[in-house]
Amino acid sequence: MTKLSVNINKIATLRNARGGNIPDLLKDATDIQSYGGQGITIHPRPDERHIRYQDARDLKTVVTTEFNIEGNPIPEFVDLVLDIKPDQVTLVPDAVDAITSNAGWDTSEHASFLTEVVGEFKRNGIRTSIFMEPVPLLIEKAAKTGTDRIELYTESYAVEYAKGNKGEARKYAEAARTAAESGLGVNAGHDLNLDNLNFFVSQVPGVLEVSIGHALISEALYFGLENVIGMYLQKLVQ
């Protein structure tokens, strides 16, 4: 069965917009796991606009499922991951000013760098995953870096699915089969949601984990707003 890892970056964004500690990131991570979430994912960026480096250290004390830290392996990020030693690190080629992840690694161009970084993390007992687009040749090259897994970047699938084109899933199924043949585990994430998730995992073989944040937190607002508004109205009854 595919595991659900919940990316809590958006919770940190909301906290940072107001200052203080509401919402409480550590409480939310604890609650998510108690509700059945099978992992917590964070993606600290150098400007700390959502997850702060200290958040990553604090979360280590409350994550009892699987802790996945995503990010561009700049020196500060590498040091953070080696200090915390999460269950998994996912390498993402973000530009410093990127709003969100928008491309996978070119594992041909960056083969030497990725091999070095993957080796360092694996020597420290950290499972390593590389954020990838569904390109079989690049996935084969990813395997040569020594990585344990890849994470399929699902934007093109999500965009096409929303248009009614379910055939895009075939490209991801082929990528997953290539990964399996190359000895790699397969994760997926970035643009999966309640509408497109079930079809994706039914068509793409062997997905071990999905990491979902923006959509999940947005959907939690939609499905929870009615209940919370009702609770507030009850407080106003004299």
Which residues are known to be catalytic? 43, 70, 190
Q: Are 129 and 208 in contact (CB under 8 A)?
A: no
Q: Are 214 and 7 in contact (CB under 8 A)?
A: yes
- Token code pair at residue 214: 């923006």
CA distance 186 to 178: 10
HSE (side-chain half, CA atoms, 13 Å) at 3: 18
DSSP H helix total and E strand total for the chain: 10, 8
Buried b (16+ CB within 10 A) or exposed e, 50-75: bbbbebbeebeeebebbbbbbbbbee
SS3 2: coil
CA distance 149 to 154: 15
- Token code pair at residue 72: 């561009």
Q: Read off φ and ψ for residue 72, nearest 5 degrees.
A: -80, 125
